[in-house]
Amino acid sequence: MHKPVLGILGGVGPLATAYFMELLIKKTPARTDQDHMPMIVFNDPQIPDRTAYILDHAQPNPQDEMAKVAHWLEEAGSDYIAIACNTAHYFYDAINEAVEVPVVNIMEETAKRIAETAGSGATVGLLATEGTVESGVFQGFFEQWGLQVKAPDAEGQDHITHLIYDCVKANQPYDEQEFLYEAWRLRKGGCDAVVVGCTELSVIYQELEKRPTWMYDSLDILADRCVDIYLTARRSGGLIEM
């Protein structure tokens, strides 16, 4: 297999993983099949729910299973790893420590991109799972880049949770306008930018006919970074630079 190989810790959730692979393929400047990046995907939808554990530690802990999948990806030949789930980054340190190869951090890459484009000091609206919002992990990365964070109110978070769990994860229809409405509420509430901080929401975002310029999709940003790592490594003889 040609190097470098991207390992994808997937299934969290399954449709978001498929969309991530599609993004990677579409973003790679390829003229032939052989120009595309090799990937090893472990689509494991039976990993326990991340938000459930974050909100209630009596629930099954997904950390060991995700670390095991990351280790398997490394053993199978992955040179670097991406996780197609924002909430899973609550467990990032444990996953990163389970392998020797680098693990791209979707939250860090997203915060960096927004800081570079919206400017340090900007206020960012966060559309994400309740687990991501309550954990404060995303907020920590934003703050490192000088960004302020604003989450939806209780009603807005209920709408976002419904879209994530009752619609996308459940393979049920969803209302794009409901998604855009919550984004606009944050925008009108003083946010300079709004981040699509859940990969299930990325599924909705990617299908929008018109995407607001002030919205940033974390899955899209992760795909950009993974393609950049791949292309840079190809030019340098396979050396991964993070």
The confidence score (pLDDT) of residue 2 equals 65
* DSSP track, 143-206: HHTT-EEE---HHHHHHHHIIIIIIITTT----HHHHHHHHHHHHHTT-SEEEE-SHHHHHHHH
Q: Is 191 a catalytic residue?
A: no
What is the residue type of 126?
Answer: L
The confidence score (pLDDT) of residue 99 equals 98
The confidence score (pLDDT) of residue 1 equals 54
Which of 85, 167, 191, 226 is catalytic? The answer is 85
**Mean pLDDT, consecutive 10-residue segments, the chain of 242 residues?**
87 94 96 94 96 97 97 96 96 97 97 94 97 95 96 97 96 96 97 97 95 97 97 82 73
- Rounded CA-CA distance 66/182 in Å is 31
Which of 167, 191, 198, 226 is catalytic? The answer is 198
The confidence score (pLDDT) of residue 237 equals 75
Contact 103, 132 (CB under 8 A): no
Q: Is 198 a catalytic residue?
A: yes
In the chain, the domains with their CATH numbers are 6-105+220-235 (3.40.50.1860), 107-217 (3.40.50.1860)
Q: Which residues neighbour 57 within 8 Å (Cβ) at sequence distance 6 or greater? A: none
Residue 12 corresponds to which tokens in the numbers above?
Answer: 């969290």
